């Protein structure tokens, strides 16, 4: 099976092409504000480097959040339209799961800065979920995680008070984890923001 993996949920553009047990090529670039302009050209470059045509991909794995709302949507629009147009399989992957899978330690706590003292985070033990993907208040979240033992924090964001190790995707491991997973109908592959919009939040608070 040939898999195209794409993650634009952070300031980094992460993409890889997998074929029959091997990573044929990958791209890891800091695009930040240039994501909307450059994500597609980078994807094109990657496929050209591994000498594949878009139609030779069987399955697209797309990171559907959490992370930058705009970033998530850039990659997901590309992935959804790609899968729809060329009738390819598509499967969403959590950014936090990808981060945990890429770290070898026993207890892994991937976190993404969600500002104002909040993070998107989860706690994994060897790929098993102990605390599910969520939008957490950082201090409370760390206290809760502590009960499970000593964890390693993975993050590409800066948390001055915390000891973190940087995230670099282990593409082979992430892709092989989801190789047997059933794909989803393209229309229903959508972002997982893990957070309501401010307008929805206000309305929700006003109602209850």
Partner 1 sequence: MKDVYILGIESSCDETSISIVKNGEEVLATVVSSQIEVHKNYGGVVPEIASREHIKNITFVLEECFKQANLTIEKIDAIAIAYGPGLIGSLLIGLEAAKTLAYLYQKPLIPVHHIAGHIYANNLVKPLTFPLLALVVSGGHTELIFMKDHFCFEKLGATLDDAVGECYDKVARVIGLPYPGGPEIDRLSKEGEAVYLLPHPLDDESYNFSFSGLKSAVINLNHQYEQKGKTINQADLAASFQKVVIETLVKKTKRAIEKTGCKQLIIAGGVSANQSLRKAMLQLGEEMKIEVSIPPLSFCTDNGAMIAAAGYFAYKLGKRADLYLNSKSQEELN
Contact residues: partner 1, CB under 8 A: 36-41, 44, 54, 69-70, 73-74, 76-78, 80-82, 84-86, 186-187, 190-191, 193, 197-200, 203
Cβ proximity to partner 1: between 61 and 123 the closer is 61
Tokens of residue 29, six digits: 């670039």
Cβ proximity to partner 1: between 28 and 70 the closer is 70
How far CA 65 is from CA of 81, 96, 111, 133, 139, in Å, comes to 18, 8, 12, 10, 22
**CB of 144 vs partner 1, minimal distance in Å:** 28
How is 129-171 classified by DSSP, letter by letter?
EEEEEEEEEHHHHHHHHHTT---EEE-SS--TTS-EE-----H
**CB of 184 vs partner 1, minimal distance in Å:** 12
Cβ proximity to partner 1: between 59 and 80 the closer is 80
Cβ proximity to partner 1: between 74 and 119 the closer is 74
126-127-129 Cα angle (round to 5): 110
Cβ proximity to partner 1: between 26 and 38 the closer is 38
**CB of 31 vs partner 1, minimal distance in Å:** 12
**CB of 4 vs partner 1, minimal distance in Å:** 12
**CB of 33 vs partner 1, minimal distance in Å:** 10
**CB of 64 vs partner 1, minimal distance in Å:** 10
CB count in 10 Å sphere of residue 45:
15
Q: Give the max Cα distance, the chain.
A: 56
Residue 103 burial by Cβ neighbours in a 10 Å radius (0-12, 13-18, 19+): buried
Cβ proximity to partner 1: between 82 and 178 the closer is 82
- Cβ-defined contacts of 195-204 (< 8 Å, 24+): 195/66, 195/114, 195/120, 195/135
């Amino acid at each position: 099976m040939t898999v195209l993996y794409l993650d634009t949920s952070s300031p980094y553009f992460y993409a890889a092409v997998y074929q029959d047990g091997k990573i044929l090529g990958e791209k890891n670039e800091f695009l930040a504000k240039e994501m909307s302009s450059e994500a597609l050209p980078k994807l094109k470059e990657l496929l050209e480097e591994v000498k594949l045509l878009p139609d030779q991909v069987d399955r697209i794995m797309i990171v559907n959040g959490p992370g930058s709302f705009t970033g998530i949507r850039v990659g997901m629009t590309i992935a959804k339209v790609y899968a729809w147009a060329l009738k390819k399989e598509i499967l969403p992957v959590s950014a936090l799961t990808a981060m945990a899978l890429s770290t070898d330690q026993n207890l892994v706590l991937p976190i993404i800065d969600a500002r104002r003292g909040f993070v998107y985070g989860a706690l994994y033990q060897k790929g098993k979920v102990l605390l599910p993907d969520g939008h957490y208040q950082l201090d409370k979240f760390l206290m809760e995680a502590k009960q499970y033992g000593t964890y390693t924090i993975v993050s590409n964001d800066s948390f001055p008070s915390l000891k973190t190790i940087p995230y670099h995707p282990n593409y082979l491991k992430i892709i092989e984890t989801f190789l047997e997973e059933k794909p989803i109908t393209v229309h229903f592959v959508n972002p997982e923001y893990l957070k309501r919009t401010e307008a929805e939040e206000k309305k929700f608070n006003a109602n209850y």
